[in-house]
Amino acid sequence: MNVQAIVVGGGIVGLSAGWHLIQGGLRQVLVLERHILASGGTGLGTGSVHTQRWHPTDSALILRSMHVMRELSERSGGAFRLYPVGRLTLAGERDVAIVQNYGRHLRTVGVDAVTLSPREVARRFPGINVSDVAVALHTEGDGVVYPPLLLWTLAGLFRNDGGTIWEGCEVRRIVADGGVARGIELANGDRIESDRIIVAAGIWTRQLLRASGFDLALKHSVAHTTVVTLGRADLWPGVSSLLDGIQGLIAIPRNPGTIMASNVSGEYEAREETAQAVLEASSVAVRLTDAALAERKSAQQRLILKQLRHRYRDHDVRGAVGHWAGLLDGTPDSHPYVGPYPGVDALWVGCGLTGYGVQRGPGIGEALAQLALERPLSVDVGAYRLDRCDHARNFRIDISGDNPFEGFREPRQSSVTVAGRG
Ligand SMILES: Cc1cc2nc3c(=O)[nH]c(=O)nc-3n(C[C@H](O)[C@H](O)[C@H](O)COP(=O)(O)OP(=O)(O)OC[C@H]3O[C@@H](n4cnc5c(N)ncnc54)[C@H](O)[C@@H]3O)c2cc1C
């Protein structure tokens, strides 16, 4: 069997790549998914889509992803949409200059970021405690999505436009010879040939590359979200997506009346056996398999509830009603890999999206399709080329590398502790 393009992975990156290949004029595009759609990281994403990122390539990718999301919203008659709750970053006295620089930078890369005083925060977001806030950054157009719905909408359009999805079809390895990828081999031994192979296998990417004789520096961390309800229904419409740099808290109102919250200390490098158990099952199974998570859960929940009650002082923060967790794929510098696999023709990879894959995935998938079709790029992803990290060297996941204020640090240490996902 021979098709024009094979995409490995039915997550946000893979489905976006597949759909953009079809939009680009290919007729036979096959997405291969080992489990079912949305069974990987995308199905577990909280859904925050925000433009407050310090790397210019990220900002461009997120703006582009939001453009793709608007198109999906239109084409789905609004069933899928970005709910525009906005994004609010809070900082204390010591970080005023950083936040102001950060806001200026975001405006230069096309992000509509507004700096707010504590008084303006209190006026615009009733019920928020600003007693320790010195400055805030607000991006009104940011919001939240349902990641599985984003995926299913893309899958629906992909199929309607002629694309093919095979679920329950695990790719065992990429078949290459003479420095050219020729196709893939499925777990049952069947082979499919193609001139274009895109690997978007999320946390499983390294495993697949290694089975094929390739490699990339990738490791796993655990992200954990606690679901908390708010009693004051009259205040629900004013709850924004929050990055509380004073407490190290991330709080996302995926639905009115609930907040999905996490703390930086809740993200940590996954133990080898945890990662292995999850990779062999599905990332959804992390809830069952990660004993370390169970140990941390109650301490994390106590901390998060304390922080939420401090910040949302008047919202009547109730107890935690639930939680979930999943693995993230991280690179040595916390930036994704997007581009051709070095030294191998006809093979492109998009992975290492850490905790920001829902918001960058549509743009990254589009970029992979454009590379495979040799078309001009909507976003220059050159900074995320694959050969920038030595895969043979061991590394520790450093989630502070993902700190949104990283590029604006003063000579002294910032008190902003927020990093990681959300
Ligand atoms: C708890 C949590 C909260 C998060 N919150 C946010 C958020 O608020 N905002 C945000 O932007 N991001 C968030 N993320 C991150 C985001 O969900 C991920 O970065 C993103 O979904 C990764 O997308 P992907 O397409 O790279 O991988 P995936 O969605 O994992 O897709 C990869 C697919 O490849 C398949 N696959 C793997 N190997 C093979 C193989 N050999 N053959 C065939 N198929 C294969 C897998 O089954 C999987 O379906 C969060 C993640 C977690 C865990």
Give yes or no: residues 135 and 235 share one domain: yes
Closest Cα to atom 4 of ligand 1: 45
pLDDT at position 234: 96
Give yes or no: residues 188 and 323 share one domain: no
pLDDT, tens digit, 9 for 90 and up, residues 272-330: 777 777 777 654 555 444 555 665 667 778 899 999 999 999 999 998 888 888 888 99
In a domain, 239, yes or no: yes
CA gap 377, 386 in Å, rounded: 17
Give yes or no: residues 316 and 204 share one domain: no
Alpha helices in 143-204 (DSSP H): 147-160
pLDDT, tens digit, 9 for 90 and up, residues 239-251: 999 999 999 899 9
Beta bridge partners of 317: 230
Residue 407 has pLDDT above 60, yes or no: no
Give yes or no: residues 108 and 193 share one domain: no
pLDDT at position 415: 41
In a domain, 373, yes or no: yes
CA gap 320, 101 in Å, rounded: 36
> Which ligand 1 atom sits nearest the alpha carbon of residue 282?
47
DSSP assignment, residue 161? T
Banded model confidence at residue 413, pLDDT cuts 50, 70, 90: very low
Closest Cα to atom 19 of ligand 1: 357
Q: What phi, psi does 48 have (nearest 5°)?
A: -70, 130
Give yes or no: residues 319 and 243 share one domain: yes
Give yes or no: residues 116 and 224 share one domain: yes
Banded model confidence at residue 403, pLDDT cuts 50, 70, 90: low
Q: What is the CATH number of the domain that holds 48?
A: 3.50.50.60
Which one of 35, 36, 39, 42 would you pick to mutate in the ligand 1 pocket, going by the greatest count of ligand atoms within 8 A of its CB? 42
Beta bridge partners of 93: none
pLDDT at position 222: 83
Residue 266 has pLDDT above 80, yes or no: no
pLDDT, tens digit, 9 for 90 and up, residues 221-235: 888 889 999 999 999
Helix (H) or strand (E) holding 3: strand 2-3
Average pLDDT over residues 111-126: 97
Number of neighbours of residue 238 by Cβ within 10 angstroms? 16
Six token digits for residue 328: 């993230």
In a domain, 370, yes or no: yes
Residue 203 has pLDDT above 60, yes or no: yes
Give yes or no: residues 284 and 246 share one domain: yes
pLDDT, tens digit, 9 for 90 and up, residues 63-94: 999 999 999 999 999 999 999 999 999 999 98
Number of domains making up the chain: 2
Which one of 172, 243, 356 would you pick to mutate in the ligand 1 pocket, going by the greatest count of ligand atoms within 8 A of its CB? 356
Give yes or no: residues 157 and 130 share one domain: no
CA gap 223, 207 in Å, rounded: 20
pLDDT at position 416: 41
pLDDT at position 293: 60
pTM of the model: 0.94
Give yes or no: residues 132 and 253 share one domain: yes
Amino acid at 348: W
Q: What phi, psi does 149 have (nearest 5°)?
A: -70, -35
Q: Is 358 or 408 the better-scoring residue by pLDDT?
A: 358
Banded model confidence at residue 420, pLDDT cuts 50, 70, 90: very low
Banded model confidence at residue 263, pLDDT cuts 50, 70, 90: confident
In a domain, 394, yes or no: no
Task: Name the maximum alpha-carbon separation found in the chain.
Answer: 65
Q: How far is the CA of 342 from the centre of ligand 1 (A)?
A: 23
Give yes or no: residues 291 and 246 share one domain: yes
Q: How far is the CA of 351 from the centre of ligand 1 (A)?
A: 9
In a domain, 324, yes or no: yes
In a domain, 118, yes or no: yes
CA gap 228, 218 in Å, rounded: 32
Q: Which amino acids bring their CB within 6 angstroms of ligand 1?
A: 8-14, 32-35, 39-42, 44-48, 170-171, 200-204, 208, 223, 225, 325-326, 328, 351, 353, 355-359, 361, 421-422
Cα 341 to chain center, whole Å? Answer: 21
Q: Is 398 or 412 the better-scoring residue by pLDDT?
A: 398
CA gap 307, 243 in Å, rounded: 12
Closest CA to 315 of 125, 32, 119: 125
| SS3 of residue 130 by DSSP | coil
Token pair 């918001």 in the structure block, residue:
359
In a domain, 96, yes or no: yes
Token pair 């959300």 in the structure block, residue:
422
Six token digits for residue 368: 């992979």
CA gap 310, 297 in Å, rounded: 20
Give yes or no: residues 192 and 252 share one domain: no
Closest CA to 81 of 13, 155, 151, 145: 145
Counting residues of the chain whose pLDDT is more than 70, the rounded percentage is 89
> Which ligand 1 atom sits nearest the alpha carbon of residue 208?
41
Contacts of residue 317, Cβ cutoff 8 Å, sequence gap at least 6: 228, 230, 231, 259, 305, 308, 309
Residue 405 has pLDDT above 70, yes or no: no
Contact between 183 and 192 under an 8 Å Cβ cutoff? The reply is yes
Q: Is 25 or 293 the better-scoring residue by pLDDT?
A: 25
Q: How far is the CA of 324 from the centre of ligand 1 (A)?
A: 14
Residues, the chain, total?
422
Token pair 């290949």 in the structure block, residue:
21
pLDDT at position 223: 83
Residue 173 has pLDDT above 80, yes or no: yes
pLDDT at position 401: 54
Q: What is the CATH number of the domain that holds 105?
A: 3.30.9.10
Give yes or no: residues 211 and 224 share one domain: no
In a domain, 126, yes or no: yes
The residue segments making up the domain with residue 360 are 2-52+147-216+332-389
Which one of 198, 221, 250, 328 would you pick to mutate in the ligand 1 pocket, going by the greatest count of ligand atoms within 8 A of its CB? 328
Q: Is 18 or 416 the better-scoring residue by pLDDT?
A: 18
Closest CA to 324 of 237, 243, 254, 256: 254
